[in-house]
């Protein structure tokens, strides 16, 4: 990485620190990007993505490391992950399509089907005909039947529900939810039955998303159960032969510290505990993991501009141009994201506001432009007293930030810039008002007498 890191982060003594805080980003560079490309704006640092991949591969040198694509599906990110040597774990046909477009071959693709729609299965079975190395991970006997009905007899991994869940919110704890996987007490029999119809290559479980250091006991219990299952499958069952699997996939969910004072995950210690819990694996069976958030979360920030400062009897409300349509996690999960005031605004008297370091820390509620009470990025958070025009940087926003962006309230989705060494490029343009209706058609006919709105570009850039 160059000294100025193209954008981003200021130099640190550790060339590959275990977490990049929002305070580590170069404020002047971020301000220049916001000035050039407008706000709201996502900024994703590909150098940081590669560093995180490198750290994972270093901590798990003997494991198959697969990136959970749903964390961030941008082409530039997927290409960086592929070049770093990680495989792709995809949760939908769309993610499989994106991974193929980013250069992943079938032997590096893993499709994890959760109640897959028929069109998804049709697409993936078609891909597997051309890319026979693709693996389909299945969490229901019903799905195995549906694959067989389509003539598929290729690589299958059986997803198990280990009865152990963990994660940063109840909505993302998958390990104990009935929706995910075949119950543990039925998993061995289901896997043996599947082996009669498919090339069963692995077993899989996932505790949840955003597992913090306090929940590692749950992760270890899941890993231990999967090791026991692998050993059971390696033994003959009566007249039935052993199931010759290639790997045990224990999922991802490795947490990152969103709060400023939260310590980073001790990844080497987690890796060692994982190896100890799953061991001994049968000969020829490898360990696999599938981190997503850990790869991209601290590689991204969301930039937003203050447009309104409203003192009220109960709180000081700071209105910004980014809301729950741009970053849904605070509204959906009550998620905490660090926020840094980069300044640049003007005071009530029309003069330039002081630099943020020269302002008092003031409790504020940062609220977006969506017509919902829950559309807030924080409540009663102490920030350098915001002024209209200030630029705010919302940190640790690279995972599930742009991925969950939406058009609620008919708001176009934001632009995204990717930083790569000394370059900065727009990798997703800002949507326009015209983009909101491009997929719509007249209910009664394909009328051509509508006004042409192709010149409507919407607010901002």
CA 324 – CA 401 distance, rounded (Å)? 10
Q: What does DSSP say about strands 64-68 and 109-113: parallel, antiparallel, or unpaired?
A: unpaired
Q: Which residues contact 101 (CB under 8 A, 6 or more apart)?
A: 75
Asked if 371 is an active-site residue, the reply is yes
Q: Map tokens 């940087």 to a residue.
A: 393
Q: Classify the phi-psi angles of 304: left when phi > 0, otherwise alpha if psi is within -120 to 50, otherwise beta.
A: beta
Comparing CA positions, the residue from 142, 185, 137, 134 lying closest to residue 161 is 185
Specify the 3-state DSSP secondary structure of 307: strand
DSSP letter string, 268-333? HHHHHHHHHHHPSPPTTPEEEE--SHHHHGGGEEEEEEEEEEEE-SS-EEEEES--TTT--HHHHH
Degrees to nearest 5, angle at CA 304 with 22 and 298: 30
Q: Classify the phi-psi angles of 114: left when phi > 0, otherwise alpha if psi is within -120 to 50, otherwise beta.
A: beta
Bond before 311 cis per omega within 30 degrees: no
Degrees to nearest 5, angle at CA 130 with 127 and 136: 45
Work out whether the CA dihedral 115, 120, 122, 127 comes out positive or negative: negative
Q: Map tokens 């934001």 to a residue.
A: 414
Catalytic residue among 53, 90, 371, 378: 371
Structure tokens at 304: 């937003």
CA 45 – CA 355 distance, rounded (Å)? 26
Strand runs labelled E in 209-270: 247-249
The per-residue b/e assignment along 11-24, b for 16 or more CB within 10 angstroms, e otherwise, is eeeeeebbbbbbeb
- Enclosing H/E stretch for 361: strand 361-367
CA 144 – CA 335 distance, rounded (Å)? 36
CA 169 – CA 438 distance, rounded (Å)? 36
Cα dist. 173→151, 233, 341 in Å? 33, 26, 33
Structure tokens at 132: 């026979």
Q: Map tokens 């400062």 to a residue.
A: 309
Q: Which residues are catalytic?
A: 371
């Amino acid at each position: 990485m160059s000294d100025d890191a193209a954008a981003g982060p200021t130099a640190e003594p550790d060339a590959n620190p275990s977490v990049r805080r929002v305070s580590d980003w170069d404020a002047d560079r971020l301000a220049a990007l916001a000035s050039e490309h407008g706000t709201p704006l996502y900024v994703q640092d590909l150098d940081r993505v590669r560093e995180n991949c490198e750290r994972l591969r270093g901590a798990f040198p003997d494991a198959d490391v697969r990136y959970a694509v749903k964390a961030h599906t941008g082409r530039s990110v997927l290409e960086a992950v592929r070049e770093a040597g990680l495989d792709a774990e995809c949760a939908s046909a769309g993610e499989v399509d994106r991974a193929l477009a980013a250069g992943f071959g079938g032997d590096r693709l893993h499709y994890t089907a959760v109640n897959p729609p028929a069109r998804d299965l049709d697409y993936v079975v078609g891909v597997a005909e051309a890319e026979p190395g693709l693996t389909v991970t299945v969490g229901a006997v019903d799905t195995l039947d549906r694959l067989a009905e389509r003539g598929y007899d290729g690589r299958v991994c059986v997803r198990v529900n280990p009865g152990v869940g963990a994660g940063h919110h109840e909505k993302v704890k998958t390990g104990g939810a009935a929706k995910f996987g075949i119950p543990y007490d039925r998993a061995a029999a289901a896997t043996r039955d599947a082996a009669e119809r498919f090339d069963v290559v692995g077993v899989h479980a996932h505790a949840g998303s955003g597992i913090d250091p306090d929940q590692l006991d749950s992760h270890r219990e899941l890993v231990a159960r999967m090791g026991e299952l692998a050993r059971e499958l390696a033994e003959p069952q009566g007249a039935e032969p052993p199931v010759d699997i290639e790997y045990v996939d224990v999922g991802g969910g490795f947490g990152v510290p969103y709060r400023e004072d939260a310590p980073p995950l001790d990844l080497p210690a987690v890796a060692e505990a994982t190896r100890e819990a799953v061991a001994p694996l049968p000969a020829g069976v490898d360990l696999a993991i599938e981190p997503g958030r850990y790869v991209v979360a601290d590689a991204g920030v969301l930039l937003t501009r203050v447009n309104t400062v409203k003192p009220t009897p109960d709180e000081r409300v700071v209105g910004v141009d980014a809301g729950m349509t741009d970053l849904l996690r605070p509204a959906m999960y009550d998620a905490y994201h660090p926020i840094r005031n980069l300044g640049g605004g003007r005071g009530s008297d029309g003069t330039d506001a002081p630099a943020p370091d020269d302002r008092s820390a003031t409790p504020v509620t940062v609220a977006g432009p969506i017509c919902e009470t829950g559309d807030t990025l924080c409540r009663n958070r102490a920030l350098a007293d915001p002024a209209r025009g200030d630029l705010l940087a919302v940190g640790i926003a690279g995972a599930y930030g742009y991925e969950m962006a939406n058009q609620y309230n008919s708001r176009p989705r934001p632009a995204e810039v990717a930083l790569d060494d000394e370059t900065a490029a727009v990798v997703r343009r800002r949507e326009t008002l015209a983009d909101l209706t491009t997929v719509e058609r007249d209910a009664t006919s394909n009328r051509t007498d509508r006004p042409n709105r192709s010149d409507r570009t919407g607010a901002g850039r």
